[in-house]
């Protein structure tokens, strides 16, 4: 039996207000533009890799953000086959008798939606989640570690030959992580369920608290900023990437509640009616909780945080 580690990149509509998105969005929210995969034998030795660009036939223009994150350019996709053909090549490469794995659960939902849209009725093998197995091994099943953080934990160095957020390179790094797992077959205990992707409106949840700080800098390093409470359940949420200063008196971060998903956290410096300076913290649950949306948001945010830090260093 062989293991296949798969990673996908996808395009998103240029605007959620476009007529194209309004027409297709509920059936096709993201369009796959790259399938990357690495094949491992039973002893977890890498025995092959697969890299296929796919030309989007619906959301044809590559979103600048996606291009920035993945390094994929419109040119890369011009000569590529459309999804049905690209996916058929992947299926042929996989062969028979394999266990399909990914890091995290967004890819399977996006893949499922693309298959349903472009090659209706094509069977999909079960997909197993290496991220959840990593959490189990690390003794922290609630925390969904990013691939980079898992690599750091395991002492795996990224190399310039393999840039992050290219599907085949992310699959390669995921395979390196997988190779460190004591029992590869344990992944069979973590089958992914497919989540429906689409615009889901949840009830608006927003909560505002006043923090007793007189500067934003102090507030930013405090517990209420670093582990803000989820506005729905009150549990402490994680901030994987950090804060970005939006204005001199305002910083924002993305947080994750293990039960409720993506939150926006704002810290705002303001004066109360007695001219005392205080920091207001607002936690807002995102009304968009599809896994692919959350992944995209976090990638964008990580870039923003890195850019803000770079600016600080060069200033």
Contact residues toward Zn ion (CB under 5 A) are 230, 232-233, 257, 259-260
Strands (E) across the chain are located at 2-11, 31-40, 46-53, 98-102, 127-129, 206-211, 244-247, 250-257, 261-271, 277-285
CB of 85 to Zn ion, least distance (A): 42
Pairing type for strands 2-11 and 98-102 reads: parallel
CB of 246 to Zn ion, least distance (A): 24
Q: Which residue has the closest beta carbon to Zn ion?
A: 230
CB of 197 to Zn ion, least distance (A): 21
Alpha helices, H only, 185-273: 216-220, 223-226
Nearer to Zn ion, 232 or 308 (CB): 232
Nearer to Zn ion, 2 or 207 (CB): 207
CB of 233 to Zn ion, least distance (A): 3
Helix (H, G, I), strand (E, B) or coil at 281: strand
Cβ–Cβ contacts within 10 Å for residue 142, how many?
10
Nearer to Zn ion, 102 or 229 (CB): 229
CB of 110 to Zn ion, least distance (A): 24
Buried b (16+ CB within 10 A) or exposed e, 266-305: bbbbeeeeeeeeebbbbbbbbebbbbbbbbbbbbebbebb
CB of 284 to Zn ion, least distance (A): 12
Cα angle at 295 between 34 and 10, to 5 degrees? 20
Nearer to Zn ion, 165 or 260 (CB): 260
* 131: phi then psi, degrees, rounded to nearest 5: -65, -40
Rounded Cα gap, residues 219 and 245, in angstroms:
13
Cβ-based burial of 32 (10 A; exposed 0-12, middle 13-18, buried ≥19): buried
Nearer to Zn ion, 38 or 263 (CB): 263
Closest CA to 83 of 65, 64, 59: 59
Nearer to Zn ion, 183 or 259 (CB): 259
CB of 32 to Zn ion, least distance (A): 31
Nearer to Zn ion, 138 or 233 (CB): 233
């Amino acid at each position: 039996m062989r293991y296949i580690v798969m990673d996908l990149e996808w395009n998103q509509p240029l605007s959620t207000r476009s007529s194209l998105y309004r027409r297709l969005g509920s059936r096709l929210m993201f369009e796959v533009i790259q399938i990357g995969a690495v094949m491992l034998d039973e002893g977890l030795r890498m025995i092959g890799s697969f890299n296929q660009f796919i030309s989007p036939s619906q959301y044809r223009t590559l979103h600048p953000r996606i291009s920035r994150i993945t390094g994929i350019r419109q040119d890369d996709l011009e000569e590529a086959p459309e999804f049905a053909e690209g996916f058929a090549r992947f299926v042929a490469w996989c062969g028979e008798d394999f266990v399909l794995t990914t890091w995290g659960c967004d890819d399977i939902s996006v893949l499922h939606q693309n298959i349903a849209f472009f090659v209706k009725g094509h069977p999909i093998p079960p997909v197993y989640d290496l991220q959840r197995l990593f959490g189990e091994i690390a003794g922290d099943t609630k925390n969904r570690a990013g691939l980079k953080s898992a690599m750091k934990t395991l002492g795996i160095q990224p190399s310039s030959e393999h840039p992050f957020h290219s599907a085949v390179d992310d699959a390669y790094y995921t395979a390196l992580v997988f190779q460190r797992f004591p029992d590869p077959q344990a992944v069979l205990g973590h089958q992914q369920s497919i989540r429906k992707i689409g615009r889901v409106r949840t009830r608006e949840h927003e909560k505002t608290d006043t923090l007793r700080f007189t500067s934003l800098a102090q507030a930013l390093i405090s517990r209420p900023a670093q582990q803000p409470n989820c506005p729905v359940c009150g549990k402490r949420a994680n901030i994987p990437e950090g804060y970005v200063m939006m204005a001199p008196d305002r910083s924002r971060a993305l947080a994750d509640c293990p039960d409720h998903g993506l939150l926006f956290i704002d810290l705002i410096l303001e004066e109360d009616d007695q001219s005392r300076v205080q920091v207001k913290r607002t936690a807002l649950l995102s009304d968009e909780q599809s896994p692919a949306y959350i992944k995209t948001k976090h990638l964008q945010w990580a870039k923003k945080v890195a850019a803000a830090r770079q600016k600080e260093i060069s200033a």
